[in-house]
Amino acid sequence: MAGLYFEEFSDGQQFHHEFSRTVTEMDNTMFSLLTMNPQPLHLDAHFAAGTEFGQRLFNSLYTLGIMIGMSVYDTTFGTTIANLGMTDVAFPRPVFHGDTLKAHTTVISRRLSKSRPGQGIVEFEHSATNQRGEVVARCRRTALMRCKPEA
């Protein structure tokens, strides 16, 4: 399994995920329509041209999904039981069509579950940067993780 078990995480551990993703107009349009988000900032080039950004914004929920998705292989692939929640979600800079995103993860804390033997809770802080190294998204995510199987 590529993901890590609860015991393999340590407070302060950092991951700079290898995957990158250039986001496209098709991604933005498709995701916005699939999620029933008709916001003209995402879909209407003429409307968006008249805003302070001068162009369409990439859907922030898709940015969040890409950021967390890029972290999975190195951290939770096959070893997570469930996401328990996300907090402190922020988008300090806009993402535009053609931007290339990279993800970074820091383990904030971990503890054994009090109610679920053989499982632990890990809090991650994820961030995404664009091709200029600017942070475009961040969040804290709490995951219920499997402990190593007993030999």
- 62 backbone dihedrals φ, ψ, rounded to 5°: -70, -40
> Is 90 exceeded by the pLDDT of residue 2?
no
Going along the chain from its start, the domains and CATH numbers come out as 6-24+60-146 (3.10.129.10)
> Is 90 exceeded by the pLDDT of residue 70?
yes
Instruction: Give tens-digit pLDDT for 99-128.
Output: 999 999 999 999 999 999 999 999 999 999
Cβ-Cβ contacts under 8 Å for 45 (sequence gap 6 or more)? 55, 56
**What's the pLDDT score for residue 150?**
80
- How large is the average pLDDT for residues 49-54? 97
Q: Which helix (H) or strand (E) holds 67?
A: helix 60-75
Instruction: Give tens-digit pLDDT for 123-146.
Output: 999 999 999 999 999 999 999 999
**Is this prediction's pTM over 0.85?**
yes
